[in-house]
Structure 1
Amino acid sequence: MQRNIIWVLAAGLALSSTSCKKFLDEKSMTKLDESAVFGDVNQVESSLKGAYAKWKDIRTDEQGLIMMMGTDETQQGAFQMKSDPNKGAFDRFDGNLNSTLNHIANQWNIRWPVVNEAARIVRGMSKLNPAAGTLEAKLLGEASFIRGFLDFQLAMYWGEIPIRDLDREAELGTRRQPLKDVWAFIIADLQRAADNCPKTNDPGRATSGAAWAMLGKAYMSAPVSTGLRDFSKAAACFEKMMGDYTLVAYKDLWDYNTPNTRESILEFQYSYIYPNNNKIQFQIGSRAVQSYFGDGCYYSGYDKIVPTKYAYSSVDSGGVWEPGDQRRYEAIRYDFTYYGETPTLDNIKWEDLGPDHDELLPHVKKYEDFRTDKHTDFKVNNMWNSGKNIPVLRLADIKLCYAECLNELGRTAEAMTVVNEVRTRAWGGVLPEERKWKGMSADAFRTAIMDERMRELFAEDWRKIDLLRTGKFIQLVKARNKWTAQSGTIKDFNLLLPIPDTEMRLNEDLKPSDQNPGYN
């Protein structure tokens, strides 16, 4: 019983002292032994729902923002940088960004229990050799999707990772595996998901469309060194699913009254009521607003991440936003006036941040949840209850990915047509002639598409991966992230995160030489 309690605490809090191997070996009240689980499909379904719930938890509270720190799109607020120098390393890329940083260990640890649970289901369902269209095949597909998606993230952030193929456990152990093997495994998982996931599913669960979308992203993102990057295969994957979805008005994507729109491929389902809230908005709202109006103002918070100057500025001010782009004011809050009153910094002058005060500079707006405002009838006036759905995959993202593929395949004119479809929505349905993309070279397209993805997908947790897969991480973060520029300590090895020290010590399959270069 004591071991079971420890597991529940570890899964909920992602204790940094637990390795991926320990997560696999630990017993759990929420997991049955394999003979029980795989003898009853209903129990497998319960296990899969548990995996979904833990996966969704990764995007909640502060931990859901860590991988959005340290990009050219979002950075930590000034007070957060001052009050937590260790976490500040995600933007400074200084010596505090090392293997002992508990925020890194947490990001590593919260993913492995989900990967391992999905691996159990994949092995169990694979043994049944299920026929297409059966419940067993559906469970196999969904578990493969979850493992493939999380392995995709882990490989992007850490490079070589363990492969959790339980049929080859004796061979593979929990050692880091060569990149080519890791990405081949990810691609195989997502292909299996595409073949077995249903075309429609309950909201928040994987479909064949989501699987084809992620398989396309995998083919685009696999390191060139693996030989698996293939823009032709990626484009083919996107073509298989894009027609099943439709762009909707941009504002509808962020309206809690219109969840799971026709554009949504996969979105995590939350509510503003505990325990299914995600707490994101209070983490990213304004501290000046909180100190002035209190928790009951729906855009108050802690400034955990804020837009970079590049991400909130207009083109004529050296930023990304063009005149008339309606996404700008849906994505970013510029005005903090609340019921006719404008907050000041008076209550937080004790912070002594001087010119670095950013509590009333532009903030992330997409996740604001008015249901938590004290002026509503919901009587939920604490910002910790914010709980709008969070998009994971949506059509505009995939269209822009598809356009990238077309450009890389020498079809730049077609690529611009696809981008203009997304941009037309951004201008309310009529794209001015001067805003249409035309006459670009392939190189010019590569530069422009990164700005377009920032405008479309601002603060949706894709930016770091976009920067890494295109090889622009160091260049653009150094140029646009205020704290990175001030520190001047970012190095090429910061493309990858360090393997957590706890993992290095607790996983007997790892030795010191297995650490990512540049870290100790």
Structure 2
Amino acid sequence: MQRTIISALVAVFVLCTASCKKFLDEKSMTKLDERQVYSDLDLVETSLKGIYANWKAVRTDEQGLIMMMGTDETQQGAFQMKSDPNKGGLDRYDANLNATLNHIANQWNIRWPLVNEAAKIVRGLSRQDVTPGTREAKLLGEASFVRGFIDFQLAMYWGEIPIRDLDREAELGLRRQPLKDVWAFIIEDLQRAAEHCPKTNDPGRATSGAAWAMLGKAYMAAPESTGLRDFAKAAECFEKMMGDYSLVPYKDLWDYNKPNTAEAILEFQFSPVYPNNNKLQFQLGSRAVQAYFGDGCYYSGYDKIVPTRYAYSSVDSGGVWEAGDLRREESIRYDFTYYGETPTLDPITWEDLGNDHDELLPHVKKYEDFRTDKHTDNKINNMWNSGKNIPVLRLGDIKLCYAECLNEMDRGADAVNVVNEVRARAWGGVLPADKQWTAMSREAFRTAVMDERIRELFAEDWRRIDLIRTGKYLELVKARNKWTAQSGSIQAFHTRLPIPDTEMKLNGDITPADQNPGYQ
């Protein structure tokens, strides 16, 4: 009974907090001595499971798409831009992208409870000797992984962030810390995770392979100013884990009958049955399809984000896709014909979007879930019920990261070979001679691999981070995002998001003077 009560209180705590300050200052709701809580590994396990449950919720519904808006890969649908001008600032990069934008505040707020709860586990288990291979070590490794992963995202999106090392709380307070310290802390967390996470684990939970993969990404992404960016170390991390996974046919990655394939390093686990549905597809589907066929068509929806023209077009039309690449049809829906009938825009002409109608232009396809279609035996309506697993880390991504490292280490020939391994899968296992990459300059490879990452990882939530870490954010978003180009407002400071106004009001250690430059 005590464990049940504690579990419920932990869940309430995580879900009900409303700002970083509140998250970071909150006292234990269990009113038990901390040593008592963290000496009971069953209680630690319960807390960790709650963290995982709320972490995967970050990738659900509209909030799971916010960080994919405003890139060169995906942008908001036209009606969404018209109906919500404030959120439209995420693509226009105009004055609506500011510290009061609730969508940004939510992205900040949904992550900090997870960091704080993970920090409690790390401190609680670190206060005793931890023997590698024990249950304590496993839980310590997983909590370190979650904190390291989420801090990685927070630092990429906002720059300097608070460091939640609870043993140094009096010293650090709730202030934003220097980038070098932040990234050193992220790397330390992921190193501990690589040392202690188990090689295999339950689906949806961290492994040593996931930890090595993220540690490698951290060494690649750490700002050069920190002195911590190290492509050789990143390559070593990837080499420690890649052999434990293998590429599978690309279509298998999006087949709900084949979850957690041999390529999966970490997937968030979902199903089309409430409350484990992810709600993504109805946000991603077509409003024209919804208006024409109703909610029961599994690819109807709201057009919350759609591919940019560059991301859906062929090379000969100024886009990214090459003839014969199987990833194109798996990633993007071009044909909206449904049981022999093709929808039109007639039911939604009231939107008055002029030439901006995009409801029947290409859409994101990867998360479509036919189990929610009205023609299946499940009788589960599409509205919010999609439930495919969501990939977080997979081998195709890591191989391309590894190739980038090799290129930066003057091993261009090896880098090309690794990319060709990924591309061979994209052509069904045998890469045509004219599609094989050959020797190129370091700079040419940098450009080419960014396109390859669109083809391989389209709409998998890595593009914003890729653009930031490579310094290509301003250039490519301005050139390829329709709304950004129309607005003409994007500036270099937009690479970072504004610290939410609510945070500055509630956290005495983060004031308007600490706001990221360029924002008011």
Q: Name the TM-score, length of structure 1 as normaliser.
A: 0.97
Match of 1:92 in 2: 92
Q: Shift of residue 265 of structure 1?
A: 0.1
In structure 1, stretches of 5+ residues that fail to align are none
Q: Structure 1 residue 21: deviation in Å?
A: 2.2
Alignment-derived partner of residue 143 in structure 1: 143
| 8 A contact 1:8–1:28 mirrored in 2 | no
Give the SS at the match of 1:88.
helix
Give the match for residue 225 of structure 1: 225
Matches of 1:395 and 1:374, distance apart in 2: 34
Could you tell me how far apart the structure 1 residues matched to 2:424 and 2:440 are?
A: 18
Q: Distance in 2 between matches of 1:107 and 1:7?
A: 20
Per the TM alignment, residue 31 of structure 1 is displaced from its structure 2 partner at its CA by 9.4
Q: Which residue matches 1:291?
A: 291
- Is residue 482 from structure 1 mapped to residue 482 from structure 2 by the alignment? yes
Contact 2:11 2:50 (C-alpha < 8 Å) held by counterparts:
no
Q: Distance in 1 between matches of 2:368 and 2:43?
A: 37
Structure 1 residues 294 and 235: alpha-carbon distance in aligned structure 2, compared to 1, 3 A threshold: same
Deviation of 1:381 after TM superposition, in Å, equals 1.6
Match status 1:77 vs 2:77: yes
Tell me the C-alpha RMSD between the 2 structures. 1.6
Aligned twin of 1:400: 400
Q: What per-residue deviation string (whole Å, max 9, x for no partner) do you get for residues 430-480 of structure 1?
A: 100000000211111000000000000000000000000000000000000
1:186 aligns with 2:186: yes
Aligned to 2:125: 125
Cα 1:418/1:76, change in 2 over 3 Å:
same
Superimposed CA distance per residue, residues 80-136 of structure 1 (whole angstroms, 9 cap, x where no aligned partner)? 000000000000000010001011100000000000000000001111121000000
Of residues 175-184 and 507-516 in structure 1, the stretch that sits farther from structure 2 once superposed is 507-516
Match for residue 332 of structure 2?
Answer: 332
SS class of match (1:423): helix
CA distance in 1, matches of 2:31, 2:465: 32
Q: Please tell me whether the aligned partners of residues 10 and 47 of structure 2 are also in contact (alpha carbons under 8 angstroms).
A: no
> Which residue pairs with 1:210 in the alignment?
210
Percent of aligned pairs with the same amino acid: 80
What is the CA deviation profile of residues 277-318 of structure 1, one whole-angstrom value per residue up to 9, with x for unaligned ones?
Answer: 000000000000000001100000000000000000000000
Residue 10 of structure 1 deviates from its aligned partner by: 7.7
AA in 2 matched with 1:507: N
Measured in 2, the distance between the counterparts of 1:333 and 1:147 equals: 35
Q: Is the 8 A contact 2:9 2:29 kept in 1?
A: no
1:314 aligns with 2:308: no
CA distance in 2 between counterparts of 1:310 and 1:113 reads 37
Deviates more, 1:198-207 or 1:375-384: 375-384
Partner of 1:345: 345
Do the aligned residues in 1 keep the contact of 2:76 with 2:91 (CA within 8 Å)? yes
Amino acid of the structure 2 residue aligned with 1:155: A
Taking the aligned partners of 1:248 and 1:44, their CA distance within structure 2 comes to: 35
| Secondary structure class of the residue paired with 1:391 | strand
1:134 and 1:10, CA in 2 relative to 1: closer, same or farther beyond 3 A? closer
Amino acid in the other structure paired with 1:460: E
CA distance in 1: counterparts of 2:157 and 2:439, whole angstroms? 35
The AA in structure 2 aligned to 1:223 is P
Offset at 1:33?
Answer: 5.7
SS in 2 for 1:385: coil
1:199 corresponds to 2:193: no
- In structure 1, distance between residues paired with 2:30 and 2:220: 36
Structure-2 residue corresponding to 1:236: 236
Q: Counterpart amino acid of 2:355?
A: P
Q: Runs in 1 of length 4+ with deviation above 6 angstroms?
A: 4-10, 28-32
* 2:276 partner amino acid: N
Amino acid at match of 1:500: P
Q: Tell me the equivalent position of 1:509.
A: 509
- Retained in 2: the 8 A contact 1:31–1:47? no
Of stretches 155-164 and 373-382 in structure 1, the one that deviates more from structure 2 is 373-382
- Separation of aligned partners in 2, 1:436 and 1:241: 26
Give the CA deviation at 1:396: 0.5
Deviations 1:356-400 (A, max 9, x none): 000000000000000000000011123311010000000000000
1:32, CA displacement in angstroms? Answer: 6.4
Distance 2:176 2:382 in 1: 43
Cα distance, 1:477–1:377 mapped onto 2, change above 3 Å: same
Alignment of 1:381 onto 2:362: no
1:244-286 deviations in Å (ceiling 9; x for gaps): 0000000000000000000000000000000010000000000
Aligned-pair distance for 1:19? Answer: 2.1
Equivalent position of 1:170 in the other structure: 170
8 A Cα contact 1:373 1:381, kept in partner: yes
The change in CA–CA distance for 1:202 and 1:7 in structure 2 (over 3 A counts) is: closer
The alpha-carbon deviation at position 215 of structure 1 amounts to 0.1
- Aligned partners of 2:283 and 2:303 also within 8 Å: yes
Tell me: CA distance 1:471–1:159, structure 2 relative to 1, closer, same or farther (3 Å): same
Alignment length (residue pairs): 514
Instruction: Kindly provide the CA deviation profile for residues 322-358 of structure 1, in whole angstroms up to 9, marking residues without a partner as x.
Output: 0000000000000000000000001000000011000
Residue 470 of structure 1 is matched in structure 2 by 470
Structure 1's 243 and 64: CA in aligned 2 closer, same or farther, altered over 3 A? same
Residue equivalent to 1:453: 453
Name the CA distance, whole Å, in 2 between partners of 1:276 and 1:364: 21
- In 2 relative to 1, CA 192–464 (structure 1 residues): closer, same or farther, beyond 3 Å? same
SS of corresponding position for 1:306: strand
Letter in 1 for 2:144: S
Unaligned runs of 5+ residues in structure 2 are: 1-6
Q: Is 1:498 the counterpart of 2:498 in the alignment?
A: yes
